[in-house]
Amino acid sequence: MDIRVFDGKKKLASFAADLFSEVIKNNARPVLGLATGASPIDTYKELIKRFNAGELSFKNVTTFNLDEYCGLPKNDKNSYYTFMMENLFDHVDIDLKNVNIPDGNAEDPEAYAKEYEEKIKAAGGIDIQLLGIGVNGHIGFNEPTDRFSEGTHVVKLTDSTIEANSRYFTDSEMPRYAVTMGVGSIMAAKKIVLIATGRAKAQAVFETVKGEVTPSCPASILQTHKDAILLLDKAAASLLK
């Protein structure tokens, strides 16, 4: 694993945007794996800035998002669909036909999950995958468990994740289930970029980097990926020395 520690979130986001820009510019049909949450917001801002400056186009880009809550209307203010529209897609020239965000309301979730995996494969696989990390070491919504998940599937969220994310659900109950790309789907990406900032992530980062590879810290599997890079601020990296 390549580990970079940055002095401040802006520098980190600019470096992450460089990695994504490179893939977008060097591929005829780039396929991006995207994430929600606080961690990627500055990177999306930086990509939008580059689009506005005429340096980057999303015209040929296809995207796959990691996850979505189950049971929320697509346009709910807390859905990841809404998050992606507000934080990236509304501001760039991407063709929405090429945007894929898991449907948290599929009638047959299992069949839907298979379809999502097939779509990723049909697009040629993910060239670069963006990840945050949960305080419990989750990636996507792959919570700590006793085996690494494979493809896209429905998960029951853990108390730790509910506690971390319920701050967004000020006037409604946070969903207890989500659909997520599996650890296997994430590991199939050609390049993986994980962003972690803040002291609250330090323990999860430590276990990811220095701990054993174990499904009780799902991000630890990144140790076995041939092109995974961790972008950290000093607080998130504080336990590594």
177-210 CB burial, b ≥16 within 10 A, e <16: ebbbbbbbbbbbbbbbbbbbbeeebbbbbbbbbe
**Binding of residue 79 to ligand PGA (CB under 6 A):** no
Question: Which parts of the chain fold into alpha helices (H)?
Answer: 9-26, 41-52, 80-87, 109-122, 159-165, 183-187, 202-210
136 is catalytic: yes
- Of 68, 117, 143, 207, the catalytic one is 143
CA distances from 69 to 55, 73, 131, 141, 206 (A): 34, 9, 17, 9, 28
Query: Which residue stretch of 6-14, 116-124, 128-136, 203-211 sits at the interface with ligand PGA (rule: CB under 6 A)?
Result: 128-136
Residue number, 39 or 129, with CB nearest to ligand PGA:
39
Are the C-beta atoms of 232 and 4 separated by less than 8 Å? yes
What length is written for the chain?
Answer: 241
**Binding of residue 213 to ligand PGA (CB under 6 A):** no
- To ligand PGA, the closest distance from the beta carbon of 60 in angstroms equals 27
Give dist(CA 129, CA 208) in Å, integer.
17
Residue number, 38 or 213, with CB nearest to ligand PGA:
38
- To ligand PGA, the closest distance from the beta carbon of 124 in angstroms equals 25
Are the C-beta atoms of 39 and 197 separated by less than 8 Å? yes
Binding mask 20-39 for ligand PGA (x = CB under 6 A): -----------------xxx
Q: For residue 164, report the phi and psi dihedrals to the nearest 5 degrees.
A: -70, -35
- To ligand PGA, the closest distance from the beta carbon of 198 in angstroms equals 8
**Binding of residue 137 to ligand PGA (CB under 6 A):** no
Tokens, residue 87: 């934080």
**Binding of residue 102 to ligand PGA (CB under 6 A):** no
Task: Tell me the CB-side half-sphere exposure of residue 115, using CA atoms within 13 A.
Answer: 12
**Binding of residue 132 to ligand PGA (CB under 6 A):** yes
**Binding of residue 134 to ligand PGA (CB under 6 A):** yes
Query: Which residue stretch of 15-23, 71-79, 85-93, 131-139 sits at the interface with ligand PGA (rule: CB under 6 A)?
Result: 131-139
Give the catalytic positions in this structure.
67, 136, 138, 143
Residue ranges binding ligand PGA (CB under 6 A): 37-39, 132-134, 138
